[in-house]
Amino acid sequence: MPIIHISLRAGKPEAYRQAIFDSLYCAMREALDVPEDDQFMTISEHDAANFRYGNAYGVTRSDDLVLIQITVFDSRTLEQKKALYRRIAERLGENPGIRPENVFVNIVPTAKENWSVGHGLAQFA
């Protein structure tokens, strides 16, 4: 049950943004084995004045940087997380053509009881 928030510079065409959604969904299916149609994602676009980044950690980024924050159950293993990082970079490289240097991913693990996916119920508690 991942929730994904994506931030990027404004101005990319709809097909580019949809390719990001599709690539992330495929990577999650492959690396985390999320259920079919488990797609809860948003994209926030920012103008240049509201989108700042640096080249820290030996990575040279550009204005095509995509910040991806994934909130998931805290049951994911280190191996699953590493596989997810790799598949996201590969998939986004294939479509829509984002350089791996511009793929910044952050995973936020949360306990299952912190989720309600509808009807006001704690389905996973």
Domain ranges for the chain: 3-114
Q: Which pLDDT belongs to residue 72? A: 95
pLDDT tens profile 11-36 = 999 999 999 999 999 999 999 999 99
Identify whether the C-beta of residue 22 lies closer than 8 Å to the C-beta of residue 79. no
Between the CA of residue 85 and those of 48, 115, 122, what are the distances in Å?
26, 23, 29
Per the DSSP assignment, residues forming a β-bridge with 46 are: 9
Residue range 3-114 forms a domain whose CATH class is alpha beta
Which amino acids are annotated catalytic? 2
**pLDDT per residue over 48-99, tens digit each?**
999 999 999 999 999 999 999 999 999 999 999 999 999 999 999 999 999 9
The answer to whether 76 touches 109, Cβ cutoff 8 Å, is yes
pTM of the model: 0.95
**Whole-number pLDDT of residue 1:** 78
* DSSP 8-state symbol, 35: P
**Which pLDDT belongs to residue 101?**
98
